[in-house]
Chain A
């Protein structure tokens, strides 16, 4: 089947009318080119959006308290309540498949008053009381020193990890940061580390201006007692937080004597749900790219099929001669199919190469003009390319199918009469 004679013949046939072969090939080439470029553009868009999400653990929800809207067990509506530290253990005991439950407290806020003082400098920052696990849910890179640890929690050490933004505002360039003290709402904390966050969304600058201190020291220093401001809860990879959400909130309702149907007493934000919504957008984009690409490819394939029909027509006599000399019908069919597949694959490969060149060009253009919003590193994977190849082989088969059948339908005697 794959002997040199057959290949020589395929080449002879395809090169016998070079102009026509190239024009035919162009159709398929163009189709696969469009497919590749569309997929790459979709990927670039996806990369851009994903960058905005940063490294945040997406299987995460945030939960905070509001006031009750229904009277329950003798308690009035409009009652405010607080999560307590032992709620964390209660959730851990009652809801399986949770990876991290981080109780958090917060001081200051967006454009809050100056709450942090160092020497003669003053700044307004978000100050969080946190457990060490928070670094897994809200990832950051520790650029110097270390992050909080459990000894800090247990011993209620007054230590702080500050963001790059805090460092640049409160310290001179080159000044030693580690071991120095900052005064947060009148309480001195020793700086033990600095961090940098990678996400790139709207409040990217704000994210670098945060201060993390141990949860226990925060509670003590700022008089929070057993109160928990809000919680960040991450589920294990196998299960989705969206499904566990109701369970968690149920446990909280029970512990805080909230009416089971009081939906507004506990506020939450389900990051996973948001992320899924975006995720389905990517799926949609990909589907559109495939549909458009394959439609364009289809017209190319019809072109190939057409030309193969003409080739068969032109070679009717030759086919007749071959059959008179004893060539078997399957061999003729195989010949036509292979020509068609070969032509499709070669032109498809050309399309893939051109597409890759264009993508490469766009990438180097992006590199030279700097980042563009929501569009990063458009690319196609090896998987997509091999998928495209499979599509090409199938299309080649489809394109050759009708011509190959019409070739063997010609009876040798009629073929020979064809002058």
Chain B
């Protein structure tokens, strides 16, 4: 599903250049649930941003679902993001003047789905994350866990090939974190490919595979026995 070869990325900080990713090679099959771990500054968020086409790599190959991702114009990148990828952010990134339902419906709007159909679909995704009754509420009226569930519903709504989660539990307490991870596991059980960036060990162990990043290179890549989050909920 995801294939990257010899990926490099550096940032210019004034006159200095900061080499963040130093040749990453990585593949992920369909249906995998991968945790990308590493301390801050290890390059994990940069990797995720490149995978999410939010940022471009300096060199290296990136193939997503058989499509080589390179030389993207902003328009093309927007199309690919909409078609291939769903994002879950640490700070939820909901649009705060839109209701939960409208937030979930947004990617569908960009896919030019009709208004009625959009609402029906968005509502069904909200139902899946257990927030049907909150559909008309604004993000400010929701708790952190609820916001993240709305964000997950939004990421799912476009039916992407891959879900990218950047510290999805970073802003949540442990109980809520496990609820969110439980949801992510269930979505993965349905066959969705999910990449989770985290620095929390317990969250990482709820995935099926852990990739350790250190100073811009992968130092460890292992399959693990998944810890189900249900038991903590």
Contacts and interface: CB of A to CB of B under 8 A. Distances in A.
6 contacts: A4-B115, A324-B52, A325-B154, A326-B79, A330-B75, A416-B54
Contacts of A121: none
Indicate the member of A325, A331, A411 with the most B CB atoms within 10 Å: A325
Given A326-B158, A413-B49, A416-B93, A408 B74 contact: yes
Contacts of A412: 54
A197 interface: no
Counting chain B CB atoms within 10 Å of each CB, which of A322, A323, A324, A419 scores highest?
Answer: A324
Interface string B68-95: 0000001100110111000101010111
Nearest to B93: A321
A324 B154 CA distance: 12
A327 interface: yes
How many interface residues does chain A have, given as a range?
20 to 34
A85 B79 CA distance: 89
Contact of B97 (A12, A317, A327, A419): A12
A26 B134 CA distance: 39
A411 B110 contact: no
A325 B87 contact: yes
Q: Is the interface of A mostly helix, strand, loop or mixed?
A: helix
Contacts, number: 64
A329 to B, nearest CB: 5
Interface in A380-419: 408, 411-413, 416, 419
A262 to B, nearest CB: 80
Interface of B: 49, 52, 54-55, 74-75, 78-79, 81-83, 87, 89, 91, 93-95, 97-98, 106-107, 109-111, 115, 154, 158
Nearest to A318: B95
B54 A325 contact: no
Q: A4, A5, A326 — which one has the most chain B CB atoms within 10 A of its CB?
A: A326
Interface of A: 4-5, 12, 16, 317-318, 320-331, 408, 411-413, 416, 419
Contacts of A4: 115
Nearest to A329: B74
A15 to B, nearest CB: 10
Contacts of B74: 323, 328-329, 408
Contact of B83 (A326, A330, A419): A326
Nearest to B106: A325
A419 B154 CA distance: 20
A315 to B, nearest CB: 9
Contact of A326 (B78, B89, B98): B78
B118 to A, nearest CB: 9
Nearest to B111: A326
Contact of A317 (B75, B93, B98, B111): B93
Contacts of B81: 323-326
Contact of A328 (B52, B79, B106): B79
A13 to B, nearest CB: 8
B91 A413 contact: no
B110 A326 contact: yes
Contacts of A416: 54, 89, 93
Contacts of B154: 325
Nearest to B78: A328
A271 B4 CA distance: 88
A141 B78 CA distance: 75
Given A322-B106, A325-B154, A329-B78, A413 B111 contact: no
Given A322-B95, A326-B107, A416-B54, 20 more contacts: A321-B93, A322-B106, A322-B110, A324-B54, A324-B81, A324-B87, A325-B81, A325-B107, A326-B81, A326-B82, A326-B83, A326-B158, A327-B78, A328-B78, A328-B79, A328-B110, A408-B74, A411-B55, A413-B55, A419-B91
B75 A329 contact: yes
B110 A325 contact: yes
A326 B76 CA distance: 9
A4 B115 CA distance: 9
Nearest to B154: A325
A247 B98 CA distance: 79
B176 to A, nearest CB: 21
Contacts of A331: 110
Contacts of A411: 54-55
A5 B115 contact: yes
B109 A323 contact: no
Q: Which 8 A-B pairs have the closest CB atoms?
A: A326-B82, A413-B54, A326-B110, A328-B78, A413-B55, A325-B107, A321-B93, A326-B81
A70 B93 CA distance: 97
